[in-house]
Amino acid sequence: MEVYFDNSATTKPYDEVIDTMAEIMRNYYGNPSSAHSLGLMAEKKLNEAREAIAKTLNVSASEIVFTSGGSESNNFLLTGFVKEGAHVITTKTEHPSVLNTCMEMEGRGVEVTYLNVDNEGKIDLNELEKSINKNTQLVSIMHVNNETGIIQDIEAIGKLIKEKSSRAKFHVDAVQSYGKLNINIQSSGIDLLSASAHKIHGPRGAGIAYIRKGLTPKPLIYGGGQEKRLRSGTENLAAYAGFAKAVEIIYKNREKNFEHVLNIKKHFLNSIASMKGIKINGQHINDFSPYILSISFIGVRGEVLLHMLEAESVFVSTGSACAARDTKDSYVLKAIGLKNEEIKGTIRFSFSEFNTFSEVDKAINALSKCLKFLRRG
Strand partners, 91: 115
Tens of pLDDT, residue by residue over 33-81, are 999 999 999 999 999 999 999 999 999 999 999 999 999 999 999 999 9
The model's confidence at residue 327, banded by pLDDT at 50, 70 and 90, is low
* Amino acid 283: pLDDT: 85
Q: Are 180 and 262 within 8 A, CB to CB?
A: no
Q: What is the mean pLDDT of residues 314-326?
A: 72
Domain boundaries in the chain? 3-10+254-375, 15-248
Amino acid at 360: V
User: Residues 61, 285, 321, 322: which is the catalytic one?
Assistant: 322
Fold of domain 15-248: Aspartate Aminotransferase; domain 2 (3.40.640)
Please state, as a whole number, how many other Cβ atoms lie within 10 Å of the Cβ of residue 368: 13
Residue with the bigger pLDDT between 375 and 131: it is: 131
Q: Which helix (DSSP H) or strand (DSSP E) does residue 120 occupy?
A: none
Q: Please report, to the nearest 10 degrees, the dihedral formed by the alpha carbons of residues 2, 3, 8, 11 taken in order.
A: 40
Tens of pLDDT, residue by residue over 185-226, are 999 999 999 999 999 999 999 999 999 999 999 999 999 999
Give yes or no for residue 11 having a pLDDT over 90. Answer: yes
Taken in order 31, 34, 36, 39, the sign of the CA dihedral is positive
Distance between CA atoms of 355 and 352, rounded to whole angstroms?
6
Q: Is 102 a catalytic residue?
A: no
- Beta 292-297 vs 346-350: how paired, if at all? antiparallel
* Amino acid 377: pLDDT: 56
Distance between CA atoms of 115 and 127, rounded to whole angstroms?
7
Give yes or no for residue 18 having a pLDDT over 70. Answer: yes
Strand partners, 292: 350
Q: What is the mean pLDDT of residues 351-359?
A: 98
Nearest to 220 by CA among 63, 77, 71: 77
* Amino acid 329: pLDDT: 85
Q: Are 107 and 80 within 8 A, CB to CB?
A: no
Instruction: Specify the CATH architecture of the domain 3-10+254-375.
Output: Alpha-Beta Complex (3.90)
Percent of the chain at pLDDT above 70? 97
Instruction: DSSP for 163-220, please give it.
Output: HH-SS-EEEEE-TTTTTTS---TTTTT-SEEEEESGGGTS-TT-EEEEE-TT--PPPS
Q: Which residues contact 94 (CB under 8 A, 6 or more apart)?
A: 102, 140, 141, 142, 173
Nearest to 90 by CA among 120, 64, 58, 117: 117
Amino acid at 307: H
Give yes or no for residue 320 having a pLDDT over 90. Answer: no
Give yes or no for residue 234 having a pLDDT over 70. Answer: yes
Q: What is the mean pLDDT of residues 354-365?
A: 98
Average pLDDT, rounded, for the chain: 96
Nearest to 196 by CA among 183, 205, 187, 188: 205
The model's confidence at residue 322, banded by pLDDT at 50, 70 and 90, is low
Lowest mean pLDDT among 78-92, 141-155, 235-249, 318-332: 318-332
Amino acid at 47: N
Give yes or no for residue 156 having a pLDDT over 90. Answer: yes
Q: What is the mean pLDDT of residues 134-148?
A: 97
Instruction: DSSP for 35-67, please give it.
Output: SSHHHHHHHHHHHHHHHHHHHHHTS-GGGEEEE
Indicate the pTM of the whole model. Answer: 0.95
Q: What length is written for the chain?
A: 377
Q: Where are the alpha helices (DSSP H) in the chain?
A: 15-27, 37-57, 70-79, 96-106, 125-131, 154-164, 237-252, 254-272, 302-311, 331-335, 340-344, 357-374
Tens of pLDDT, residue by residue over 280-293, are 999 899 999 999 99
